[in-house]
Structure 1
Amino acid sequence: MIQYKGALVLGALIGAGVAVLFAPDKGSVTRDKLKKEGKDIKNKLVDDFTEVKEDLSKAASSGKDKLKEDLKDFASKASYKTEEAITFLEKQLAVLKEKNKNLQQTS
């Protein structure tokens, strides 16, 4: 799970770097956008990790059979969260691709 989150953070950082390189806005506007997106990503990751921590705490405090059931639920929930994060990054990538396409057409 942590590996996936690391990959998401890396992807977000790469996307932010590409956005800076191809940004049509002034530097200050681009920096403000990147700060906001960075904070949004950070908040989402903190929320996800908090939720995971709470789920694991609940699972650890229950019995062995309950733990197995909770782990199954946790795996399912983690899969959905991963899918949501991937969808979010795909949307951001699509926006960057469109901006890059527009820049290529104007060059």
Structure 2
Amino acid sequence: MGKDSSTLLGILAGTAIGATLGILFAPDKGSKTRQRIADEAQSAKERMHESAVQMRDKVADTVSSKKETLDEQVEAIVSDMSHKTEDVITTLEKKLADLKAKNKKYQKS
């Protein structure tokens, strides 16, 4: 995402510089030149705003999808741990039953 934003910023800056230089070197009255520069600056500002909004939306979508993926992974881990916990409890219950049986055998002696 950093590479995309750097590229976009470079393109916008190059366009703005090129347009400004083209206007400055064009044979026209000073007032018209200043107005054209102001218009071009406003247009560049609007394009940058649109790009910023698009990037914000893209980041929000990416974060949202990553969050959903993380939630699914956490749910899978919890489910897996629950099954493993059940296996451990079952094993411990069997061991406890064996120990109780051995204990009864020793108590009779």
The TM-score, its normalising length taken from structure 1, stands at 0.51
Who is 2:83 aligned against? none
The one of 15, 36, 43 equivalent to 1:12 is 15
**RMSD of aligned alpha carbons:** 1.9
Letter aligned with residue 37 of structure 1:
E
Provide structure 1 residue ranges, at least 5 long, that are not aligned to the other structure.
Answer: 66-107
The equivalent of 2:49 in structure 1 is 46
User: 2:45 is aligned with what amino acid?
Assistant: K
Task: Choose from 64, 70, 77 the match for 2:69.
Answer: 64
Deviation at 1:25, TM superposition (A): 1.1
Structure of higher RCO (CA pairs closer than 8 Å, 6+ residues apart): 1
Deviations 1:49-102 (CA, angstroms, capped at 9, x unpaired):
11110121122112239xxxxxxxxxxxxxxxxxxxxxxxxxxxxxxxxxxxxx
Aligned-pair identity in percent equals: 25
Runs of 4 or more, structure 1, over 4 Å off, are none
TM superposition shift of 1:30: 0.7
What residue identity is the alignment partner of 2:31?
A: S
- 1:32 is the counterpart of 2:35: yes
Give the Cα–Cα distance (whole angstroms) in 1 for the partners of residues 62 and 44 of structure 2. 27
Give the number of equivalent residue pairs: 64
Amino acid at match of 2:69: K
In 1, Cα distance between equivalents of 2:37 and 2:7: 22
Give the counterpart letter for 1:12 in structure 2.
Answer: T
